[in-house]
Chains A and B, each alone.
Chain A
Amino acid sequence: NAGVTQTPKFRILKIGQSMTLQCTQDMNHNYMYWYRQDPGMGLKLIYYSVGAGITDKGEVPNGYNVSRSTTEDFPLRLELAAPSQTSVYFCASSYGGGLIYGYTFGSGTRLTVV
């Protein structure tokens, strides 16, 4: 049981480039989330999804897009990368709102924009 798998683990982008961070889960969780973690700060919610075909913005959605065509996959798209997007990105999933078992997180993607 792999849980939540994120790829890549590390990436360096140049300003203005685009990329997609991949996230897949094999637990049949209906909720999925993207967070970013900046040094000295807690995780901030970028986007979330409550099921296939349904996505919504979190606290810091600007500069990002998501899609949820299947229950398993929830990719995060960065368009026109900026230095402010340098961060560690975490994908997470949960059954329902995560009250009973919390969230299951991936191991993160460290992104540097130069």
Chain B
Amino acid sequence: AQTVTQSQPEMSVQEAETVTLSCTYDTSESDYYLFWYKQPPSRQMILVIRQEAYKQQNATENRFSVNFQKAAKSFSLKISDSQLGDAAMYFCAYRSAMVRNKLVFGAGTILRVKS
């Protein structure tokens, strides 16, 4: 079974600085998808960014980018120019290309942004 590990329970960053959240996963599959979700205090889960395993190019969405290392099974999220609104819980998630109905989540990382 696939597992997702987020080793940083909590991180802090100064406003306007850059922070990287770590995520590793375990799978024997070669085709899969990876996601980062943001959960602000409102509890709503918001999709931040997605990465297809077959793509070597790292995904980027405005200030959010990933460092996808397939061989190392690592999928870190970099937030540039951090803003107060970035403060939230961030979840890394894995989805098999074959098993369509299961998104496997990590335990989450709380990100605090200091002004």
Contacts and interface: CB of A to CB of B under 8 A. Distances in A.
* Residue from A40, A50, A105 having most chain B Cβ neighbours under 10 A: A105
A48 B101 contact: yes
B1 to A, nearest CB: 9
Interface of A: 31, 33, 40-45, 48, 50, 56, 58-59, 88, 90, 92, 96-99, 101-103, 105-108
- The dominant DSSP class at the A interface is loop
A88 B43 contact: yes
Interface in B75-115: 91, 93, 95, 97, 100-108
A106 B43 CA distance: 8
A71 to B, nearest CB: 16
A102 B33 CA distance: 10
B45 interface: yes
A56 B101 contact: yes
B100 to A, nearest CB: 4
Contact of A92 (B45, B95, B108): B45
Interface residues on B, range: 20 to 34
Contacts, number: 60
Interface in B17-72: 33, 35, 37, 42-47, 50
A98 B107 contact: no
Contact of A45 (B4, B97, B102): B102
Contacts of B107: 40-42
A99 B102 CA distance: 11
5 contacts: A45-B102, A96-B100, A97-B101, A107-B43, A108-B44
